Amino acid sequence: MMMLKCFNRAVLAAAILSLGLGTSIFAASPEEASVTVRPEDTGKALVNPDMGWTMHFYSNMPQNYGSKLEPSDTLDDFPGLSTVYLRVPWAFLEPEEGRFNWALLDTPAQRWIGKGKRVALRITCSENWMAFATPEWVRQAGAKGYFYAFGKGRVEKSGTWDPDFADAIFLAKLEKFLAAMAARYDGNPNVAFIDIGSYGMWGEGHTMMSSQVPDAEALTVIKKHIDLHVRHFPHTQLCISDDVAGHDKPGRHFPETDYAIAKGVTLRDDSILVQPPPRSWYHAEMAQEFWPKWPVILEHEHYGGSKQRGAWGDGSLLLKAVEDYHASYMSIHWWPQQELEENRALIDRINRRVGYRLQLREIAWPRAVGIGQPFVVRSLWANAGVAPCYHGGFMALTLKDEAGGLVSVLADDQFDVRDLAPGQSGAAPMRTNDSRFVVGQIAPTTKPGQYAVFLSVGQRDGTPRIALPLAGEDGQRRYRLGQIEVREK
């Protein structure tokens, strides 16, 4: 629902004078005052860049959790799902040296990409459920490593093997793989982020349950793995697990994560609701160093396991984790339909806070404007999410005729929504912006008449990019707000 009213002409004149435009722009009769619209937030889930729910199509084991989905099922009914997450061992992608099984990733990826969604990746080198997550041919090529017993450390012989994560042969083979992977995925606009998953059990950055790398060696090794990824993926957002600093060490600054920050690598925490309260997570304080710059990714424990251990509770802690970490992404870490059916109200609440949520609180424009003459549009904005809109965007006003044709596209590249700061729930700071526009200046030919007014946020050139919680969407992320009359000069 939208509320309309007429502004006092004196108020409009004052706004115009403040911009140095002069009152001649609105020098007309009282019925040509402005229109003010106060849209209500629709409450709907938004699918936007750099935020949303990530669906674990592969969660290490390829059976979890996309194996029961039909090839045509991209979970379109899961609100806020923006990303399909593919986490698999290196051995599955390069079973023979130099021979790659990219279809393992590309097939599910293309299903979601075809629906306008994105992809996230993690390739692991250590798993406790298979002997060689790092391809066995790497070991056969001379790479050093260790057999281990899960939870006990190194043993002489077992059914699971870790590479020596600092071994020169291992690192050389890994770098060749990363180079091949980067040729396909670095800078790919369909890739949301890539985990640095080559170190530690499940790619989580810890070895306490596997080969137990000594603490004195770990920092040097972790830096090598960060550097490898940064070198090969300079155009893609990288992230690293909080556990590289120790899975249960609270604190804000650690050498490992400070090094990641210095390299432009963001944070993910895979440990949400693994344990019952009061230790439902450990590193919300650490996240404060990351979220002002880059999106923070959260992964909750396998939903079924979390419930069994009494860690899930009523689910409200999951929303609290989003708040505490200022998270941009949350996982679907279970059979997705079950998680949705049992948690729909919680998921809806999270969707209203996770990432950014750009709210147009109020906008005013003149009821009539002259062709070629400047006018002012005043708008009031807030970010009702927990994180910034990292890549930003710019407001555009679009005028359409009755046939839906674009009569005038007016983008304000002086106002970047990246600057809208997030706030506490229900208390987001607001910002007023005055945009100066002109319809039909020189060209294209513009006829006098009544036109529909649409608003969008996107690229500097007026291309819509960001979904807004507004009614009246035209299918291209433009939202109808009302009408304007265009007159001869």
Query: What span, in angstroms and rounded, lies between the C-alpha atoms of 386 and 399?
Result: 32
Residue 387 has which token pair? Answer: 């994180």
What integer is the mean pLDDT of 259-287?
A: 97
Give 293-341 pLDDT, tens digit per residue. 999 999 999 999 999 999 999 999 999 999 999 999 999 999 999 999 9
Give the pLDDT band of residue 32 (cuts 50, 70, 90).
low
Is the pLDDT at 30 greater than 90, yes or no?
A: no
pLDDT of residue 369: 97
Q: Is the dihedral of CA 55, 61, 66, 71 positive or negative?
A: positive
Contacts of residue 111, Cβ cutoff 8 Å, sequence gap at least 6: 71, 72, 74, 84
Q: Any idea where the domains of the chain sit in the sequence?
A: 4-44+357-487, 52-351
DSSP one-letter string for 323-378: HHHT-SEEEE-S-HHHHHHHHHHHHHHHHTTSS--EEEEEEEEESEEETT-EEEEE
Give 59-104 pLDDT, tens digit per residue. 999 999 999 999 999 999 999 999 999 999 999 999 999 999 999 9
Q: Taking all residues of the chain, what is their mean pLDDT, rounded to a whole number?
A: 93
What integer is the mean pLDDT of 112-121?
A: 98
pLDDT of residue 361: 98
Edge-to-edge order in the sheet of strand 368-370: 368-370, 479-487, 449-458, 394-400, 406-416
Indicate the residue type of 207: T
Q: Find tokens 């106060």 and name the residue.
A: 38
Is the pLDDT at 14 greater than 80, yes or no?
A: no
Cα-based distances in Å from 365 to 167, 396, 441, 485: 65, 13, 18, 11
Give the pLDDT band of residue 214 (cuts 50, 70, 90).
very high
Query: What span, in angstroms and rounded, lies between the C-alpha atoms of 390 and 326?
Result: 13
Helix (H, G, I), strand (E, B) or coil at 14: helix
What integer is the mean pLDDT of 34-62?
A: 97
Asked if residues 176 and 100 have their Cβ atoms less than 8 Å apart, the reply is no
- Number of CB atoms found within 10 A of residue 190's CB: 13
pLDDT of residue 195: 98
pLDDT of residue 234: 98
Is the pLDDT at 21 greater than 90, yes or no?
A: no
Give 399-453 pLDDT, tens digit per residue. 999 999 999 999 999 999 999 999 999 999 999 999 999 999 999 999 999 999 9
Question: Tell me, which fold does domain 52-351 have in CATH?
Answer: TIM Barrel (3.20.20)
Is the pLDDT at 200 greater than 90, yes or no?
A: yes
Strands (E), 234-273: 238-241, 266-272
What integer is the mean pLDDT of 353-370?
A: 98
Contacts of residue 239, Cβ cutoff 8 Å, sequence gap at least 6: 193, 194, 195, 196, 265, 266, 267, 268, 294, 297
Question: Tell me, which fold does domain 4-44+357-487 have in CATH?
Answer: Immunoglobulin-like (2.60.40)
- Percent residues over pLDDT 90 in the chain: 92
Give the pLDDT band of residue 249 (cuts 50, 70, 90).
confident
